[in-house]
């Protein structure tokens, strides 16, 4: 899994590439917590190149969403370019109502 981050004025765009599973979830969590620990609470996750997400990855998403909302009222995570397979996984877990979804990172960044 590879993670790259681009900081914008109102949010951070986090591009995730590969699998988010029990092996890579700690790295994913560490990268996102580094942002929230520095006070950055508006995050856009570009999920276009995520091929798989396990329950460990789902837990990270919920944990970071909670951390963002505690930092700033209105803060949170927007998911961009989510594939049908990943969306179905999120839907099955009941997570779809918890996140904002966008077709592309540009519209997600513009939402903050």
Q: Does the domain at residues 2-110 carry the CATH identifier 3.30.750.24?
A: yes
How many whole angstroms separate alpha carbon 96 and alpha carbon 80? 13
Q: Residue 75 has what pLDDT?
A: 81
pLDDT value of position 72: 72
Sign of the CA dihedral running 78, 34, 31, 33: negative
Per-residue pLDDT, averaged over 2-26, amounts to 95
Query: Checking DSSP bridges between strand 100-102 and strand 76-80, what pairing results, if any?
Result: parallel
pTM of the model: 0.91
Bridge-partner residues for 2, per DSSP? Answer: 17
Q: Tell me the per-residue pLDDT of 54-81, one tens digit each, with 9 for 90 and over.
A: 999 999 999 999 998 888 767 889 999 9
What are the tens digits of pLDDT across the range 93-102?
999 999 999 9
Q: Is the pLDDT score of 110 beyond 90?
A: yes
pLDDT digits (tens, 9 = 90+) for 25-61: 999 999 999 999 998 999 999 999 999 999 999 999 9
Domain boundaries, the chain: 2-110
């Amino acid at each position: 899994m590879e993670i790259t981050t681009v900081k914008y004025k109102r949010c951070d765009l986090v591009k995730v590439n590969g699998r988010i599973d029990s092996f890579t979830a700690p790295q994913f969590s560490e990268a996102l917590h580094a942002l929230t620990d520095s006070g950055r609470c508006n995050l856009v996750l570009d999920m276009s190149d995520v091929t798989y997400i396990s329950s460990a990855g789902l837990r990270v998403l919920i944990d970071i969403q909670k951390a963002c909302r505690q930092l700033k009222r209105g803060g949170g995570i927007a998911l961009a370019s989510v594939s049908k397979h990943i969306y179905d996984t999120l839907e099955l877990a009941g997570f779809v109502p918890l996140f904002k979804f966008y077709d592309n990172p540009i519209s997600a960044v513009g939402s903050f």
